[in-house]
Structure 1
């Protein structure tokens, strides 16, 4: 299964809030309709880093961005 869209900061914050209120990963998953693995990953990331940052752009996306910028500069 491929990656879908990123979670909003609000949903990540809601997961952390539920976790701090002693809700289980299973309860949070059911409440927010998000897979348990995703909830567990967000909580783990929060415990390790103290934040829930989004992933940096992929290499493919970065290359595509550089190509777009180069095309724009060449056309000027």
Structure 2
């Protein structure tokens, strides 16, 4: 019998995104001078994810998902 996993890293695939309710505590921890390692341990989220979100917040001032860079693909009907 398998038990439900509590580690977000095991449940979250590459295509899924963190909700704002998960991103907010990361920024709050940074503002309280907690280390990335401590924030990662408290929230049970990988350090690389915490680091990336905090870096994006420092550079852009937001944690919202940005649109992809580069030219977008056009879907055209070819006959």
Q: Considering the TM-score relative to the shorter chain, is it more than 0.5?
A: yes
- Residue correspondence of structure 1 range 14-33 to structure 2 within 5 A: 14-33=25-44
Greater C-alpha Rg: 1
Q: Where does the alignment leave 5 or more consecutive residues of structure 1 unmatched?
A: 68-76
Bigger helix share:
1
Match of 2:64 in 1: 53
The question of 1:37 aligning with 2:48 is answered: yes
Residues in 1 aligned to 2:58 and 2:66: alpha-carbon distance in whole angstroms: 17
Residues in 1 aligned to 2:48 and 2:38: alpha-carbon distance in whole angstroms: 13
The alignment's C-alpha RMSD in Å is: 2.5
Per the alignment, in what secondary structure is the counterpart of residue 37 of structure 2?
A: helix
Deviation at 1:4, TM superposition (A): 4.2
Q: Given the two structures, how large is their TM-score scaled by the length of structure 2?
A: 0.66
Q: Which structure has more RCO (C-alpha within 8 Å, separation ≥ 6)?
A: 2
Q: Given the two structures, how large is their TM-score scaled by the length of structure 1?
A: 0.68
